[in-house]
Amino acid sequence: MDIIDAFPHILPKPLFERMVAAAETPSARSWLNGSSRQTGLYELDVRFRMMDARPGYQQILTLGTPPLEQVASGATLRDLATLANDSMAELCHRYPDRFLGFAAGLPMGDPDASVKELERAINQLGARGVQIFTNVNGHPLDEPRFEPLFAKFSELNKPVWVHGARSFIYPEFASEEESRYGLWLALGWPYEMGLFMARVVLAGILDRYPNLRFLTHHGGGMIPTFGQRVASSPIGFQGPEHAPEVDAFSALEKSPVEYFKMFYADTTVGGEARTIRASLDFFGSDQVLFASDWPFGPPTDDGQIGPTLSAIDRLGLSEAEHAKLLRANAQQLLLT
């Protein structure tokens, strides 16, 4: 079966070791401690064993968590991004039948350096696009300092992978100091992906750069089921101090739902058929791509790959829709 996995993860071993040595925060150290148990992230023999068991299966490489800017700052952060992209480019060069390309990682804590590294990764290393996260050390991506990056994404006309960034340091309630029960991941990531998408839309970013193509992880988060709620919410109901938000909403060229439907989504939803169906119904069969989140998932060699394929088989797709989901959509969005 010919499959392109559009959103698996990797931390090439030289990068992983450097991240462990450089980690500056408890959050980063916690992330990396968890990642150390996912040996497929950094041990190629584990990855190749899984891939060899699935003939026709290929990957487009994306970095795993934590975001580089949660690990370090300054020159160390910039060096991590350089090492990440050099390492992924080398793997794609050495194993072109396995890895069809990679999404560049950026030192997002330094927007100016991110623009430079993006240009290098695309123009010199051949990156297929770029991966960003739903926040940058707690800052939303619609802050003015990130505007040059969106302009550059648009200029280069390459797809943008979007991954969750929430961690345990984000409590659900103001009375607590950190998230409990792992809800920052189970519920926080779908919520924050929806926040990212809504902020991009309501800030007018897709009006200014209508050619941007975002591939959202985990099925587009909450948007396939709650997009209309966002669109119908009484923005600015808090009072006149929110007039600028009302004005921004009114200035949009289309309804929010029309913008939400411009995004792309993947199938990384824990192998649940009805959630994949919700993404297909909302975004359309041309804008949903197979992805596995590998190596994360059940403690088996193929993680979520098998459960996700089984879920897709239960959807009753036509042969053409099936082919688009497993391969053709990725070829169209990510490899052209």
CATH number of the domain within which 117 lies: 3.20.20.140
Specify the pLDDT at position 232.
75
Angle made by CA atoms 201, 263, 111, in degrees to the nearest 5: 65
Averaged pLDDT, 279-284: 97
Residue 60 predicted with pLDDT over 70: yes
Which residue did the predictor score with more confidence, 248 or 285?
285
The least confident of 155-169, 233-247, 306-320 is: 233-247
30 has pLDDT over 90: no
Contact, 7 vs 268, CB < 8 A? yes
pLDDT of res. 31? 80
The number of distinct structural domains making up the chain is 1
Q: Please identify which residue in the block is written with the tokens 């209508």.
A: 210
**Residue-number span of the structural domain to which 152 is assigned:** 3-334
pTM: 0.95
- Per-residue confidence (pLDDT) for residue 88, from 0 to 100: 99
pLDDT band at 182 (very low <50, low <70, confident <90, very high): confident
Contact 106, 118 (CB under 8 A): yes
* 92 within 8 A of 99, measured Cβ to Cβ: yes
| pLDDT of 273 strictly over 90 | yes
In this prediction, residue 245 has a pLDDT band, given cuts at 50, 70 and 90, of: confident
Q: How confident is the model at residue 290 (pLDDT cuts 50, 70, 90)?
A: very high
More confident call, 13 vs 244: 13
Q: Is residue 10 over pLDDT 90? A: yes
Reported confidence tier of residue 184, pLDDT bands at 50, 70, 90: confident
pLDDT at 29 over 80: yes
- Reported as a pLDDT band with limits 50, 70 and 90, residue 239 is low
Categorize the per-residue pLDDT at 237 as very low, low, confident or very high, splitting at 50, 70 and 90: low
The mean pLDDT of 103-109, rounded to a whole number, is 99
- Given a cut of 90, is residue 98 above it in pLDDT? yes
**Quick one: pLDDT at residue 327?**
98
Given a cut of 90, is residue 92 above it in pLDDT? yes
